């Protein structure tokens, strides 16, 4: 792919970024909030897709790591007097460590059993958080987390999260088109062959999991920055399945598909939720339509229709 082509494929992203940068002053606060929420969810969905879409792993309880990141950040800010930047670092690191631990047990198993063990470990984490009132606030969670001033207004939170999202996405992109990322995709397609060419598949997958859970932890921290609270739902398996669906909806073999999936899901949930309390019904119906008519996801559908493949990270043209 020539330099010019590569540059051209980034132009749409650049345009969107510029537009996003100029939005907050001109749109109502509510929309700023929604967009920020989309940013956080998009990061979470992208982090899952690193191991699911690109790695082929059955990461069934990704939300657990998201929650670990969020809770760590909230706990450090509310229960300790450590400086805030420690919280910012500790959240993702804690999530990555949890990912390492859970992943280490899970990569020894194949596919479905990988997923089931992860669900059980993640549910254990949820159960502990759900009941440990003194530490985590139990089913109430923790509210009123004192976020620092520079992110306390909705506009500043918007910019902060947008910038961090962009940085994370750039890093993810670099990782996915590096030899590591390419090998990860090769493992997804044919792990046996990879073993036969000298790749330590398990270690590679584990590294992928650590990266993915690190970003999930970042998303968790950003969630707290936006919402100033945490609750056990962040660790609940339903959220894990929802993120999975976002990846599917957007198209999980593409790079940016999950972002689209997250955007669609969050927007629909908000706007449909205004008219009816039966948002989950609509989501269910949408999902069924998706399964029947668009199995490659929206992004996959678009790229097939229009032939443009700027996002397919591993197919260099």
Partner 1 sequence: MGLSRAMILFIVTSGLSFVLGVLRVPNVAHGSLYMIGAFSAFSISKLFGGGPIGFWLALILSPFIVALVSLVSERLLFCHLYQREHLMLLLFTFALMLILGDLVKLTWGAEYRSIMAPDFFRGSVSIFGLSLPRYNLFLLILGPLVAIGLWLFTNKTKIGKIARAAAVDMEMVGAVGINVSWVFAFAFVLGCFLAGLGGALVAPTVSITLGMDHDIIIEAFLIVTIGGLGNMWGAMVGSLIFGLTQSFGVLFWPQFAIVFPYTAVVIVLLWRPRGMLKSVW
Partner 2 sequence: MLRIEKIHKSFGNFVAVNGASLTVGKGELVAVIGPNGAGKTTLFNLITGQLKPDRGKVLFNDEDMTKLPTYHICRKGIARSFQIANIFHRLTVFRNVQVSVLSEQGKSNKLFSPAHNIAVEETNRILESVGLLENAENIAGSLSYGDQRILEIAIALGNEPELLILDEPTAGMSPEETAATMALIKTLAETRGLTILFCEHDMDVVFNTAQSIMVMHYGRTIVQAKPEEVKANSQVQEAYLGGENA
Q: Which chain residues interact with partner 2 by CB under 8 A? A: 1, 174-175, 177-183, 185-186, 189-190, 192-201, 204, 207, 314-317
| CB contact set of 117 (below 8 Å; sequence gap of 6+) | 105, 106, 109
Report the C-alpha gap between 196 and 113 in whole angstroms: 23
Range 178-189 burial, b when 16+ CB lie within 10 A, else e: eeebebbbbbbe
- Please report, for residues 30, 69, 151, 167, 261, the alpha-carbon distance to residue 23 in angstroms, rounded to integers and kept in the order given: 12, 29, 17, 19, 21
- In the bound state with partner 2, the residue whose beta carbon lies nearer, of 15 and 171, is 171
Q: Could you give the string, one character per residue 85-124, with x where binding to partner 1 holds by CB under 8 A and - elsewhere? A: --------------------x--xx--xx--xx-xxx-xx
Q: How many CB atoms lie within 10 A of CB 27?
A: 12
Counting Cα atoms < 13 Å in the Cβ hemisphere of 181 gives 20
241 binds, among partner 1, partner 2, none (CB under 5 to 8 A by kind): partner 1
- Residue 235 within binding range of partner 1, rule CB under 8 A: no
Report the C-alpha gap between 131 and 108 in whole angstroms: 30
315 binds, among partner 1, partner 2, none (CB under 5 to 8 A by kind): partner 2
182 binds, among partner 2, partner 1, none (CB under 5 to 8 A by kind): partner 2
Report the C-alpha gap between 184 and 198 in whole angstroms: 13
Distance in Å, CB of 3 to partner 2, minimum: 12
Span near partner 1 by CB under 8 A; candidates 43-51, 66-74, 130-138, 306-314:
130-138
Lookup: tokens for 260: 């689209």
- Residue 281 within binding range of partner 1, rule CB under 8 A: yes
CA of residue 65 relative to chain centroid, distance:
10
Distance in Å, CB of 9 to partner 2, minimum: 14
Q: Which of residues 26-85 bind partner 1 (CB under 8 A)?
A: none
Distance in Å, CB of 200 to partner 1, minimum: 20
Q: Beta strands of the chain (E only): which ranges?
A: none
Report the C-alpha gap between 194 and 31 in whole angstroms: 47
Size of the site for partner 1 (CB under 8 A): 37
- Residue 285 within binding range of partner 1, rule CB under 8 A: yes
- Residue 174 within binding range of partner 1, rule CB under 8 A: no
Please give the residue ranges that form the binding site for partner 1 (CB under 8 A): 105, 108-109, 112-113, 116-117, 119-121, 123-124, 127-128, 130-133, 236-238, 241, 244-245, 248, 277-278, 280-281, 283-285, 287-288, 291-292, 295
């Amino acid at each position: 792919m020539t330099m010019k082509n590569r540059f051209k494929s980034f132009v749409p992203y650049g345009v969107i970024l510029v537009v996003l940068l100029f939005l907050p002053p001109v749109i109502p606060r509510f929309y700023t909030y929604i967009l920020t929420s989309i940013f956080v969810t998009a990061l979470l969905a992208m982090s899952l897709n690193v191991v699911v879409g690109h790695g082929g792993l059955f990461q069934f309880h990704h939300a657990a790591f998201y929650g670990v990141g969020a809770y760590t950040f909230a706990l450090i800010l509310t229960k300790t007097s450590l400086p805030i930047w420690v919280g910012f670092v500790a959240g993702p690191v804690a999530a990555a460590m949890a990912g390492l631990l859970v992943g280490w047990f899970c990569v020894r198993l194949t596919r479905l059993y990988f997923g089931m063990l992860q669900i059980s470990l993640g549910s254990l984490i949820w159960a502990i958080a759900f009941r440990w009132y003194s530490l985590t606030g139990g089913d109430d969670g923790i509210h009123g987390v004192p976020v620092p001033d520079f992110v306390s207004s909705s506009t500043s939170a918007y910019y902060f999260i947008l910038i961090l999202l962009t940085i994370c996405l750039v890093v993810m992109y670099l990782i996915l088109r590096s030899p590591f990322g390419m090998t990860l995709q090769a493992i997804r397609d044919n792990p046996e062959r990879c073993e036969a060419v000298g790749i330590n598949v398990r270690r590679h997958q584990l590294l992928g999991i650590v990266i993915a859970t690190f970003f999930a932890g970042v998303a968790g921290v950003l969630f707290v920055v936006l919402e100033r609270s945490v609750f056990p739902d962040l660790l609940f398996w339903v959220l894990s399945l929802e993120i999975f669906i976002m990846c599917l909806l957007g198209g999980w073999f593409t790079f940016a598909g999950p972002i689209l999936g997250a955007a669609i899901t969050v927007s629909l949930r908000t706007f449909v939720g205004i008219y009816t309390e039966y948002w989950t019904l609509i989501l269910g119906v949408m999902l069924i339509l998706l399964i029947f008519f668009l199995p490659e996801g929206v992004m996959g559908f678009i790229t097939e229709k229009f032939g443009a493949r700027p996002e397919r990270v591993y197919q260099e043209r």
